[in-house]
A = this chain, B = another copy of it.
Amino acid sequence: MEKDRYQLGIETLGKLTGDESDKVVKNIESFSPEFGKMMIEFGFGEVYGRTHFSLKEQEIITLTSLITQGAGERQLMFHFKAAMNVGLSKEDIVEIIMHCAAYAGFPKASVAIEVLQQVMEQE
Residue of B46, B67, B109 near A35 (CB, 8 A) is: B109
Q: Are B106 and A65 in contact (CB under 8 A)?
A: no
Q: Are B116 and A69 in contact (CB under 8 A)?
A: no
Answer whether residue A91 sits at the interface, using C-beta atoms and an 8 A cutoff: yes
How distant is the Cα of A101 from the Cα of B61 in the complex, in angstroms? Answer: 11
A102 contacts across to B, CB distance below 8 A: 42-43, 47, 105-106
A 47-84 binary contact with B (CB < 8 Å = 1; else 0): 10010110001101110111111111011000000000
How distant is the Cα of A99 from the Cα of B102 in the complex, in angstroms? Answer: 12
Q: Are B32 and A74 in contact (CB under 8 A)?
A: no
Residue of B39, B53, B62, B67 near A101 (CB, 8 A) is: B39
Answer whether residue A111 sits at the interface, using C-beta atoms and an 8 A cutoff: yes
How distant is the Cα of A94 from the Cα of B104 in the complex, in angstroms? Answer: 19
How distant is the Cα of A32 from the Cα of B117 in the complex, in angstroms? Answer: 9
Q: Are B42 and A46 in contact (CB under 8 A)?
A: yes
Q: Are A62 and B95 in contact (CB under 8 A)?
A: no
How distant is the Cα of A97 from the Cα of B46 in the complex, in angstroms? Answer: 14
